[in-house]
Amino acid sequence: MSTFVKQLTYHKHEHEPDSAALTLEGIVVAYHDAVNGRVTALDNLNFTVQTGERIAVVGPNGAGKSTLFNLIVGTLKPTDGRVHIFGHGPDGHICIAYVPQRNNIDWQFPVTVEDVVMMGRVGRIGLFKWPRKQDWAMVRHSLERVNASHLAKRQIGGLSGGQQQRVFIARALAQEAELLLLDEPLTGLDKPSQDSLFDILDALQAEGVTALVATHDLNTAVERFDKVMLLNREIVAYGAGQSVLTPQNLQHAYGGHVHLINSEDTMMALADTCCGGRE
Amino acid sequence: MMTWFTDPLQFDFIMRAMAAAVIVGVICSVLGVYVVLRGMAFLGDALAHTILPGVVIAFLIGWPLAVGALIFGVLTAVGIGVLTDRGDLKEDTAIGVIFAGFFALGVALLSASGNYTLDLAHFLFGNLLGVSTSDLWMISVLGGIVLLTILLFYKEFLVISFDMILAATLRLPVTFLRYLLLILIAITIVASLQVVGIALMLAMFVTPAAAASLLTRRLPTMMLVSALIGIFSGITGVYASFYWNIASGPAVVLVATAVFILTFLLAPGRGVVWRYSK
């Protein structure tokens, strides 16, 4: 981690030295539905993500990717099992940043790019205080790192898809996040925008930032991530991409009717379960 | 021409009405920015109605109206929470049930007590020209509390309005902030009761902020423009009320609505006329 970031880093929880970035033990998420009775959204999840790893999370819609992210963020409590982040439960951490799917953001909202990035600082500025000089410096620095300095004064509605994604990563940088969750950041981005996104993720990884990325793009998952997690309510397979995304595993995760679409530079998995999920 | 503007100002009751309309115009319009951005219009309208039983009870037993209103404002918020908590009812359904039930209770209480029609009309549509000096004090104090709270929690309210998950990852006290916003709305409704009344309260929250949203691209400027529209509507409404004998609440709201329509048509870059002429 750069010394600049380190100087300003502050945790409500001191991170345990040598502990993994993320450990899930025996996680079950179940809820009662008026129509279906007891529904298990996630079942018996056990896995560890080491600090600095970049993980692709793939699986059909409704596989529980969003549920998993909500668990890690701490907005959802597991029915059973435990989540550890740098050795503690998620509650005390402000080092987790969530980059939402782009269609979950109100792009008409009256804020500029630098306003959005400054929101990442709110947890550190504290109640009843206004942004200080070092907070604005952090915002400028974060925008520089994602090559978006020239967009600072723009209203967020006027940005392209790739720019929108970069601005939200800048917000995570301003938050001084060490665990980054990105919810389908590649969807709708052209190849150059995807490449520049991975350039940023590479730079972050070099500083020890851990990232979990939900995606539907299986080729990218294999090529650009340390590990792939294939999820469908339970972990179907987890490990190096080539060993995880085998035809058998994909059949298992996506059901009987998986269609693998190979185009020039992407492989997408489409299945009948698509769009029937709860995500 | 000048005397047309200055004549009404000789009267103390007009000056008090102007002052009340300006203060209420500012607080409703500034808080209304959050109501519009967070999509709370229906909830705001409901709160304006559900506080009626609280106001009536306080009025009958001689307590400050604000106290009764706050109690029922909080009861509304908690009631909606309880009804939707189990996931069996949607939020707008829960709001609708409580909205109608509490409002009926308020009207029933009022009807059982003496001067029904006159009081009901004042609660429903306001009585701007009847603002007393002590009313003006109450409006000022409540308005000051609302604006100060918005200033203190500005960045937190911004985050919960824009991105709830970010608010959670930053470990902001989200539930507290949401209730605080509801309480501010309840306080503002009490302060505005005499100016616009319950039935038209929603217009003061939504209309200036909606017009401002078409003219601005940042939250602070949106609040400022919304407040200016609120002030203009208040003052113009009092003149209209004085010269043409229109009920003051509707007069204020009609001015705000006219400003909105003009903005919708003419706003630079986003107005209807602008788009057609391109």
CATH of the domain at B161: 1.10.3470.10
Q: Does B152 touch chain A (CB under 8 A)?
A: yes
Q: What does the pLDDT look like over A48-67, one tens digit per residue?
A: 999 999 999 999 888 899 99
If residue A81 lies in a helix (H) or strand (E), which one and from where to where?
strand A80-85
| B7 within some domain | no
Q: Do A111 and B158 touch (CB under 8 A)?
A: yes
Q: Which of B88, B152, B162 sits opposite A111 (nearest CB)?
A: B162
If residue A47 lies in a helix (H) or strand (E), which one and from where to where?
strand A37-49
| B50 within some domain | yes
Q: What does the pLDDT look like over B183-220, one tens digit per residue?
A: 899 899 989 988 888 999 999 999 999 999 999 999 99
Chain A residues in contact with B169 (beta carbon < 8 A): 73-74, 94, 96-98, 123, 175
| B147 within some domain | yes
| B186 within some domain | yes
**Contact status, residue B66 vs residue B143, Cβ threshold 8 Å:** no
| B187 within some domain | yes
Q: Do A123 and B88 touch (CB under 8 A)?
A: no
| B278 within some domain | no
Q: Does B88 touch chain A (CB under 8 A)?
A: yes
| B54 within some domain | yes
Q: Do B217 and A34 touch (CB under 8 A)?
A: no
Q: What does the pLDDT look like over B127-153, one tens digit per residue?
A: 888 899 998 999 999 999 999 999 999
Q: Do A110 and B171 touch (CB under 8 A)?
A: no
Helix, strand or coil, per DSSP, at residue A103: helix
Both tokens of A83, joined, read 């989540």
How far apart CA A92 and CA A74 sit, in angstroms, is 9
How far apart CA B156 and CA B131 sit, in angstroms, is 35
Q: Is pLDDT larger for residue B43 or for residue B120?
A: B43
Chain B residues in contact with A34 (beta carbon < 8 A): 87-88
Lowest mean pLDDT among A164-173, A211-220, B58-67, B225-234: B58-67
> Residue A66: closest CA among chain B residues belongs to which residue?
B165
Pairing of strands A22-33, A96-99: unpaired
What is the total residue count of chain B? 278
Q: Does B218 touch chain A (CB under 8 A)?
A: yes
Q: At a CB cut-off of 8 Å and minimum separation 6, what does A144 contact?
A: none
Task: Tell me the residue range of the domain where B141 lies.
Answer: 13-265
Q: Is B186 exposed, middle or buried (0-12, 13-18, 19+ CB in 10 A)?
A: buried
Chain A residues in contact with B157 (beta carbon < 8 A): none
B173–chain A nearest CA distance, Å? 10
| B83 within some domain | yes
Q: Report CA torsion sign: B12, B18, B20, B23.
A: negative
Q: Tell me phi and psi for residue A136, to 5 degrees.
A: -65, -35
**Contact status, residue B68 vs residue B55, Cβ threshold 8 Å:** yes
Q: What does the pLDDT look like over A93-140, one tens digit per residue?
A: 888 999 998 888 999 999 999 999 999 999 899 888 999 999 999 999
Q: Does B258 touch chain A (CB under 8 A)?
A: no
> Residue A97: closest CA among chain B residues belongs to which residue?
B169
* Range A3-95+176-270: architecture per CATH: 3-Layer(aba) Sandwich (3.40)
Helix, strand or coil, per DSSP, at residue A235: strand
- Count of domains in chain B? 1
Residues 119-148 of A with CB under 8 A from B: 119-120, 122-123, 125, 127-128, 130-131
Half-sphere exposure of A111 (CA within 13 A, CB side): 21
How far apart CA A218 and CA A57 sit, in angstroms, is 10
Question: In chain A, which residues have pLDDT < 70?
Answer: 1-14, 256-279
